[in-house]
Amino acid sequence: MLKLQQIVKDYQAGDTTVHALRGVSLQFRESEFVAILGHSGCGKTTLL
């Protein structure tokens, strides 16, 4: 099993902090197939 808890990713954009991920938790069981879907710019790559 792979378990991720309370993942946070922030970016600095000039004087502004962009909170790309805040408090994301995931759990994957052995041999489980998972797909991450969403529109362009929604944070799929950041999550990976």
Secondary structure letter of residue 46 according to DSSP? H
* pLDDT attached to residue 32: 95
Contact assessment for residue 38 and residue 20, using Cβ atoms and an 8 Å cutoff: no
- Taking the mean position of all CA atoms in its chain, how far away is CA 8? 8
Report if pTM > 0.85.
Answer: no
| CA 25 vs CA 12, 13, 14, 21: distances in Å | 23, 25, 28, 10
Q: Break the chain into its structural domains and give their ranges.
A: 2-47
* pLDDT attached to residue 28: 94
Sign of the torsion formed by the C-alpha atoms of 27, 31, 32 and 38: positive
- Each residue's pLDDT tens digit, 1-48: 999 999 999 999 999 999 999 999 999 999 999 999 999 988 889 888
